[in-house]
Structure 1
Amino acid sequence: MPSTKYPSFLFLLLVTAPLFASAARCDKADKSALLAIKAAFNNPPDLSSWTSKTSCCTWNGIDCNATTGHVTSLTIFALNISAPIPSAISKLTALQSLNLAYNQLYGPIPPFVGRLPELTFLRLDGNLLTGTIPSTLTILDLSLVGNRLTGPLPPSFAKANFADVDLRDNQLTGDASFLFGRDKNLNALHLSNNSFKFDLTNVEIPKGLDILVIDHNEIYGSIPAEVAAMKWLQFDVSYNRLCGPIPQGRYTRRFGAKHFDHNKCLCGPPLAPCK
């Protein structure tokens, strides 16, 4: 008597088919938002896979939640796009990662970017963005390198739970000392090539900080003593207005004079002895 059971491979196909369909399904509202973003970016050729006839979860630069079909990651990287940041991005409410780096985006950073409820990773580096940083931009991993941003950091940054902050190569000014704090979760802080001006003497170094690159600013005071006990991967305080002895530790001794040069009166290895 022939078996009434399906062959095992056919049974698996039937069972898993809904999962594959779910993974490919795209939320309709998110798809409309993405097509609006493409239009706002003047329909670049590299986004030719973005068509109304296909699932947005299969498009270049897009990742989706396999269960809901909502877009969780949007990457439009180095496509030479010249446009403002499109307002349609605000409709991608499940977005966790947004990478628009190395285009020619211009204008201010819209505050709605920081209001995306799930966003934890933001790259806007290598663009032509101007104006001040919105107070809403308290994103866990934040990179705004190489734009034309001006003014002081927003006060909201003092209470933000940053892990990595990279603000190099802008025209930012004022106090950035509130980014520090012993109990903060900060791992990496890059402030190079701005005009930040604050006293470094009494800042509390976050316990997990292993990258501190703050060269080419107007930072004054002395290097905190606890720096000597930290396990640094990168460390650079050159081209500031710092003074006093360099804290001596196993990891600070790894860095040569160029990481401390061109300050007001820093002294001790790897610079000249203190008088």
Structure 2
Amino acid sequence: MGRLATRPSTMKILFGFMILTVLMLICMEPNQVEVQVEPPYPPDYEVRAHHEIATELGKKDWNYNENPCNNKSSWFTPPPPPNVPEAINNSTVTCNCSFPNGECHIDGIYLLGQDLDGVLPCSLVKLSHIKVLVLYLNYLNGTIPREWAALKLETLNVAMNRLSGPIPSYLGNIISLKYLSPENNLFSGTIPPAFGKLVNLENLTLSANYLIGKFPSFLANLSNIKELRISSNNFSGKMPDIFQSWKQLEKLEIQASGFEGPIPSSLALLHNLVELRISDLSGEVQSFRYEKHVQIDIT
């Protein structure tokens, strides 16, 4: 007699159907299966350094009971919706979690329009992985700490504060810098010759300070510069003919800076230039003709 076929139970059928459904979902819609993993905290020494940084800056609303790296806490300002202008106020800490063993390290601090009235923090040097520091539009005073020369910053924006004294020459040791803006402060003296070492710099904005001296010829070393703004200072003398060294230059702004004409003719050879603003020169001032459209303001 042959064996009678046994019918599977209802529970087995349902279980098999559930397994099949899950497999189909995984295979057919892989992009819809999301696993949200909370990033690890940064090392304790970085959190302690943040306490010190907050004290020096006058920052009082960081919540140390929350993870600075999760982008969901008091450490993060969400970006605005599309087509909505970005707010001036921003309080954000960013982390890089791509290190071996899943480690996270703080790599950026953005504090814009926070009414901070302290000083630039020497303790920043304890964040060895920091790449970006933006302290725009506050009431910070003093000067840029010498300790920062040991950092590998790529962006340093301390514009629109109350910083004073000479621009420190040791900034020239941060050769990793690509963006540097001490604009709209109370800095005085000359542009440090050490700035000629900042060969990776793409954007330099020194406008609206009390800088003096002649146009620094050592800036010709900045062969990667794309934007240079040195308006509203107290410079003197003629501009040297160094512009041919800036083949990547896109925007140049030298308005009300105290320089004398004529404007070096090599400016007309800059093929990437899209915006040129030079005004309030004494002496001879000439016009330029460009082969392509360039927004020009020469008065």
- TM-score, length-scaled by structure 1: 0.79
Deviations 1:205-252 (A, max 9, x none): 300111110111222242222222334332122112252533322458
Matched AA of 1:99: V
Matched AA of 2:186: R
Q: Name the CA shift for 1:120/1:220 in 2 (closer, same or farther; >3 Å).
A: same
Among 177, 180, 189, which residue is 1:151 paired with? 189
Does the alignment pair 1:115 with 2:132? Answer: no
Deviations 1:113-152 (A, max 9, x none): 33212x1001100100001111232422001111000011
Tell me the equivalent position of 1:39: 55
Q: Name the CA shift for 1:103/1:91 in 2 (closer, same or farther; >3 Å).
A: same
Q: Name the CA shift for 1:99/1:204 in 2 (closer, same or farther; >3 Å).
A: same
Q: Is the 8 A contact 2:273 2:294 kept in 1?
A: no
Distance 1:145 1:183 in 2: 19
Deviations 1:63-89 (A, max 9, x none): 111133110000111111111112221
More deviation, 107-116/74-83: 107-116
Distance 1:247 1:150 in 2: 32
Tell me the equivalent position of 2:267: 227
Among 34, 46, 64, which residue is 1:52 paired with? 64
Does the alignment pair 1:127 with 2:161? Answer: yes
Q: Name the CA shift for 1:183/1:76 in 2 (closer, same or farther; >3 Å).
A: closer
Q: Name the CA shift for 1:215/1:252 in 2 (closer, same or farther; >3 Å).
A: farther
Aligned with 1:57: secondary structure? coil
Q: Name the CA shift for 1:42/1:157 in 2 (closer, same or farther; >3 Å).
A: closer
Q: Name the CA shift for 1:253/1:40 in 2 (closer, same or farther; >3 Å).
A: closer
The structure whose Rg is larger is 2
Tell me the equivalent position of 2:37: 20
Q: Is the 8 A contact 1:183 1:207 kept in 2?
A: no
Q: Name the CA shift for 1:237/1:30 in 2 (closer, same or farther; >3 Å).
A: same
Distance 2:218 2:251 in 1: 13
Structure 1 alignment gaps of length 5 or more: 262-275
Distance 2:237 2:53 in 1: 40
Does the alignment pair 1:239 with 2:280? Answer: yes
Q: Name the CA shift for 1:106/1:246 in 2 (closer, same or farther; >3 Å).
A: same
Percent of paired sites with the same residue: 22
Q: Name the CA shift for 1:42/1:222 in 2 (closer, same or farther; >3 Å).
A: closer
Deviations 1:249-273 (A, max 9, x none): 2458753xxx322xxxxxxxxxxxx
Does the alignment pair 1:29 with 2:45? Answer: yes
Tell me the equivalent position of 2:203: 164
Distance 2:283 2:117 in 1: 40
Q: Name the CA shift for 1:180/1:239 in 2 (closer, same or farther; >3 Å).
A: same
Among 93, 99, 123, which residue is 1:62 paired with? 93
Matched AA of 2:281: N
Matched AA of 1:175: K
Distance 1:25 1:91 in 2: 16
- TM-score, length-scaled by structure 2: 0.73
Q: Name the CA shift for 1:115/1:128 in 2 (closer, same or farther; >3 Å).
A: same
Structure 2 alignment gaps of length 5 or more: 1-11, 77-91
Matched AA of 1:229: L
Q: Is the 8 A contact 1:215 1:237 kept in 2?
A: yes
Distance 1:43 1:245 in 2: 50
Matched AA of 1:81: L
Aligned with 1:235: secondary structure? strand
Q: Name the CA shift for 1:64/1:147 in 2 (closer, same or farther; >3 Å).
A: same
Q: Is the 8 A contact 2:169 2:192 kept in 1?
A: yes
Distance 1:121 1:183 in 2: 16
Tell me the equivalent position of 1:210: 250
Distance 1:51 1:201 in 2: 51
